[in-house]
């Protein structure tokens, strides 16, 4: 039998803190795989995510935020379906939805702040979890003052109203001071200050 040594995987030793190794051992025992395999899989998965989202922390924060929303009872639906349902609601149904979104986004902002702290990146991740089809730009306008510009493609006034309710109540949940809110046909701009942590 001939073994092709050119296809052998080369390995390097990377020193890791003991506490990290101990945590990996605990997790590996819980999921039933060797800790070295677990560490390799985590690193491999994170690197593949970073090819498309260069900041792994934001990708992980958004994933965690979406998981929290699912525990709240949120359902992931195609954006076109959400628009159709929202736009076909009666006025009373829409008012009820607004009330529910106020509570959920306030609670979610509080949960995110407690779990991950209050930073501009965490607030962006929370906005992204709620408005995954939107483009979100973050502009630092001064010392601890940030403007979040949320841009949608071709949205109805009801969707923009919902987006504003979510953004404002997330900011309240993060204990941020809202300096101003501006809403256009397809854009929402929220200017806030009061983050405890920097990036």
pTM of the full structure: 0.70
Find the radius of gyration of the CA atoms of the chain: 21
Query: What's the CA gap between 194 and 113, in Å, rounded?
Result: 12
Q: Give the architecture (CATH level 2) of 76-193.
A: 2-Layer Sandwich (3.30)
Q: Per-domain residue ranges for the chain?
A: 16-49, 76-193
Q: What token pair was written down for 199?
A: 């990036």
Q: What is the pLDDT along the chain (199 residues), one digit of tens a residue?
A: 444 445 566 777 888 888 888 888 888 888 888 888 888 888 777 676 666 555 666 667 777 777 877 777 777 777 788 889 999 999 999 999 999 999 999 998 998 898 888 989 889 988 988 888 889 999 999 889 999 999 998 788 999 999 999 999 999 999 999 999 999 999 999 999 999 877 6
């Amino acid at each position: 039998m001939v073994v092709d040594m050119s296809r052998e995987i080369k390995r390097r030793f990377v020193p890791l803190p003991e506490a990290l190794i101990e945590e990996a051992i605990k997790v590996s025992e819980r999921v039933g795989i060797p800790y070295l395999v677990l560490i390799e899989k985590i690193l491999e998965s994170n690197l593949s995510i970073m090819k498309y989202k260069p900041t792994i922390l934001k990708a992980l924060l958004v994933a965690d935020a979406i998981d929290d929303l699912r525990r709240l009872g949120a359902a992931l639906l195609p954006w076109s379906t959400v628009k159709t349902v929202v736009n076909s609601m009666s006025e009373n149904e829409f008012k009820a939805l607004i009330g529910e979104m106020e509570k959920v986004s306030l609670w979610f902002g509080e949960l995110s702040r407690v779990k991950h702290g209050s930073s501009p990146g965490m607030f962006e991740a929370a906005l992204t979890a709620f408005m995954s089809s939107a483009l979100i730009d973050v502009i630092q306008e001064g010392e601890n003052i940030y403007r979040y510009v949320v841009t949608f493609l071709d949205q109805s006034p009801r969707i923009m109203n919902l987006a504003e309710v979510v953004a404002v109540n997330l900011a309240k949940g993060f204990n941020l001071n809202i300096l101003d809110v501006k809403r256009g046909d397809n854009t929402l701009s929220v200017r806030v200050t009061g983050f405890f942590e920097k990036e």
